[in-house]
């Protein structure tokens, strides 16, 4: 094994040969996830650091992000159903999304900004709906084949404020503040299990631009850390399937 010089170890630069980075955004309905993702993309693309500005940025979402997964999204949002059915549909959409959109983008070296991911499934289907946490986690692992986000932002907001902002209601918004409060607690449980992956943003105290600035600074910091200069974060996932 080659031993790196101390100087090389101390280097704090963005990766010179970019590898993909998966960044996910979580929060209750109306917390500002979609707004933040759009603003963060602009900040990356307009960054004064070329190594960031030149990277491909992919915006995607769950459930969705491919033709088939968007169809599954319509099915989930349009119908009430058994919680297990709902869970399996989310995981089916996720497997498709990873295979068709996320993994190819990471292999190209893109920064993938994903609106909701595995933590939403834990927060909604387990913590709020009551399915066993371990089962949901296990199914998340199957659907992603072990791929974990490099960074997960939690837009933390009083669910009542978020719901009041939302104009178009799906059946999840219609379940009201008490349900969203359980979802919020579910995100906090996820954070306790894996604190290093999460960055909490106080969506109550900051406006949309301040949140985007904070997220951009956190992203830059993570990408310049030594742990961030590794090959694509593909986890245990095999390169081909």
* Site residues for ligand ADP per CB under 6 A: 27, 29-35, 165-166, 203, 207-208, 211
Which partner from the list ligand ADP, Mg ion, none does 30 bind, CB cut-off 5 to 8 Å by kind?
Answer: ligand ADP
Question: Could you give the CA distance from residue 93 to residue 87 in angstroms, rounded to a whole number?
Answer: 10
| Cα-based distances in Å from 51 to 71, 111, 157 | 36, 12, 33
Question: Could you give the CA distance from residue 127 to residue 179 in angstroms, rounded to a whole number?
Answer: 10
With binding defined as CB under 5 A, does residue 35 bind Mg ion? Answer: no
What lies within 8 Å, CB to CB, of 234 at 6+ separation is 103, 106, 147
Least distance in angstroms from the C-beta of 227 to ligand ADP: 28
Least distance in angstroms from the C-beta of 229 to ligand ADP: 31
Which partner from the list Mg ion, ligand ADP, none does 212 bind, CB cut-off 5 to 8 Å by kind?
Answer: none
Of the residues 14, 15, 34, 59, which one makes contact with Mg ion according to CB under 5 A: 34
Which range of residues in 13-21, 32-40, 52-60, 81-89 is near Mg ion by CB under 5 A? 32-40
With binding defined as CB under 5 A, does residue 145 bind Mg ion? Answer: no
Bridge partners (DSSP) of residue 58 are 112
Q: Strand, helix or coil at 112?
A: strand
Question: Could you give the CA distance from residue 28 to residue 116 in angstroms, rounded to a whole number?
Answer: 10
* CB nearer ligand ADP, residue 207 or residue 227: 207
Q: Cβ distance 153 to 215 under 8 Å?
A: yes
Question: Could you give the CA distance from residue 169 to residue 163 in angstroms, rounded to a whole number?
Answer: 9
What lies within 8 Å, CB to CB, of 12 at 6+ separation is 224, 225, 226
Which partner from the list ligand ADP, Mg ion, none does 86 bind, CB cut-off 5 to 8 Å by kind?
Answer: none
Which partner from the list Mg ion, ligand ADP, none does 27 bind, CB cut-off 5 to 8 Å by kind?
Answer: ligand ADP
Q: Which residue is nearest to Mg ion (CB)?
A: 34
Least distance in angstroms from the C-beta of 193 to ligand ADP: 22
Which partner from the list ligand ADP, Mg ion, none does 4 bind, CB cut-off 5 to 8 Å by kind?
Answer: none
Binding site for Mg ion (CB under 5 A): 33-34
């Amino acid at each position: 094994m080659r031993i790196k010089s101390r100087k090389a170890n101390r280097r704090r630069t963005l990766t010179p040969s970019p590898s993909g980075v998966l960044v996910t955004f979580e929060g209750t309905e109306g917390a500002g996830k979609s707004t933040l993702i759009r603003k963060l993309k602009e900040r990356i693309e307009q960054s004064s650091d070329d190594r960031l500005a030149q990277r491909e940025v992919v915006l995607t979402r769950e459930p969705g992000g491919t033709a088939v997964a968007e169809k599954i999204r319509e099915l989930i949002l349009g119908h009430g159903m058994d919680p297990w059915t709902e869970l399996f549909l989310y995981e089916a959409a996720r497997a498709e999304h990873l295979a068709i959109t996320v993994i190819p983008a990471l292999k190209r070296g893109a920064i993938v900004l994903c609106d909701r991911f595995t933590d939403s499934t834990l927060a909604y289907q387990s913590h709020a709906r009551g399915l066993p946490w371990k089962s949901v986690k296990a199914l998340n692992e199957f659907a992603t084949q072990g791929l974990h986000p490099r960074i997960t932002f939690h837009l933390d907001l009083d669910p009542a404020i978020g719901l009041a902002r939302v104009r178009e209601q799906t059946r999840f918004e219609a379940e009201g503040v008490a349900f969203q409060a359980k979802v919020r607690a579910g995100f906090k449980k996820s954070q306790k299990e894996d604190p290093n992956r999460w960055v909490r943003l106080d969506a109550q105290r900051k406006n949309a631009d301040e949140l985007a600035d904070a997220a951009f600074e956190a992203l830059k910091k993570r990408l310049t850390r030594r742990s961030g200069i590794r090959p694509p974060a593909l986890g245990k996932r095999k390169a081909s399937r």
